[in-house]
Structure 1
Amino acid sequence: MSTGAGVVAMVKTARSRATRRRIAEAAAELFVRDGYLQTTMAAIAREAGVAVQTLYLAFEGKAAILSAAVDLAVAGDDAPVPILDRPWVARVRADPDGVAALGVFVGAATQIIERFYPLYAAMRAASADPEVADLVTLNKRQRHMVHAQIVRELSEKDGFRPEVGHATDVVYTMVSQETYGLMVAERGRPAAEWSAWVARVLTEELFRTR
């Protein structure tokens, strides 16, 4: 491939990526505001400022757009970097202080859940749709996988005390959309208060602090 052709290809790729992101962001707003089942492809196209045909060129269908919106909300960007390769995970791994490393994790997880919770709630409301239900299940499985790896990293720190499998289940339960939803969305407590509570409980559960 010539240099000129390579530049053209990169520009096309960047435009395609930008279009996909615009569609995913527009769709997420509609799913949260109007509901996933009530949102049509035509409505997504209008919100994104593209033709309906463009939606189908970029995605297989509405569920695929929802999947992209989930990825964008969880990651916070559209960079093709897995969660476990993100800088905050490297900080968890590198910090020799277990409680400090746990704090890095809880802080990052709080930001993720704050971004993702409104869309997650919309997904739960639409889980009668089999494709949406599959995405909810996939998200839970992926979250458990990430938490299991984080716990393995924390288990290498001084003072870590529980069995790794038990610790993973505790982290998976505490650092979840469900507990966030109960305390923040339902009871109206600040997200910072939820985050501090989670960090405090997990510190007591995972590390010898006395």
Structure 2
Amino acid sequence: MTEDRDTATDGRSRQQRVGEALREDTRRRILAAAGAEFASHGYRAATVAKLASAAGVSVQTLYLAWGSKRALLRAWTEAAIAGDAAAPDEAAARFRDELTAGERVDLIAEIFIDVAGRAATAWAVYRDAAGVDPEIADDWDDLQRRRHGLFIRLVHGMPDLAPGLSPSEAVDTAWAIASPETYELLVGRRGYTLEEFRAWVSRSLRAALLGSAT
């Protein structure tokens, strides 16, 4: 009898694992399809019906998997920011006390360009969606606050700041230079390559934070 119960329990556990794996696969497929739709058509035009159709699921399945189109947009954006490596919030762990100020600036530029290369489209879609959806506008503000918080961690304690530049001003300056808006202006509109933009960010940060472009 006990063996029968154990067998039944193992069977249910396997079924549960299979069910969870299928649900997770469905979530991933919906997210990938939603990202492609958002990137191609923008947030407003990518209706829930179109997102479900692109993923090959019903509208009800999409809602059960993600809850809302807004949740899909945020998940897609955060996945683009994080990429395959550690999340940007963990980037500060790469900073060590023995790094010079110039090395810290170059690492900030490297981290930002790495993220920007993946997330530029998602940033633009999110920013535009914030203009038509108050809840997304709140989410966008939250993402910006989190990005500012990351710069506090990256810039805080940086040695050899330019004379008269306070630590708080240094954080705000880096936050503004290495920003989605600056990326859009120089890469999106002026046609900078990622390497050209990285070099510009590094030079600009050195000049603004350290008083030297070298």
Query: Residue 13 of structure 1: CA displacement?
Result: 4.4
Contact 2:39/2:125, CA 8 A, preserved across alignment: yes
Give 1:198's aligned amino acid.
V
**2:147 paired residue number:** 143
**1:31 paired residue number:** 38
Per the normalisation by structure 2, the TM-score is: 0.81
Residue 138 of structure 2 is aligned with which of 134, 137, 144?
A: 134
| 1:18 to 1:208, Cα distance in 2 relative to 1, 3 A | farther
Query: Residue 95 of structure 1: CA displacement?
Result: 5.2
Alignment partners' CA distance in 2, 1:98 and 1:6 = 54
Contact 2:92/2:153, CA 8 A, preserved across alignment: no
Per the normalisation by structure 1, the TM-score is: 0.83
**1:189 paired residue number:** 192
**Cα-Cα RMSD:** 2.7
Cα deviation code 1:21-43 (max 9, x no counterpart): 33222212111211211111121
Residue 199 of structure 1 is aligned with which of 202, 208, 214?
A: 202
| 1:174 to 1:45, Cα distance in 2 relative to 1, 3 A | same
Residue 83 of structure 1 is aligned with which of 62, 85, 88?
A: 88
| 1:96 to 1:56, Cα distance in 2 relative to 1, 3 A | same
Which ranges in structure 1 are unaligned for 5 or more consecutive residues? Answer: none
Query: Residue 105 of structure 1: CA displacement?
Result: 2.2
Contact 1:106/1:198, CA 8 A, preserved across alignment: yes
Equivalences, count: 203
Contact 1:92/1:102, CA 8 A, preserved across alignment: no
State the secondary structure of the residue aligned to 2:96.
helix
Alignment partners' CA distance in 2, 1:137 and 1:4 = 47
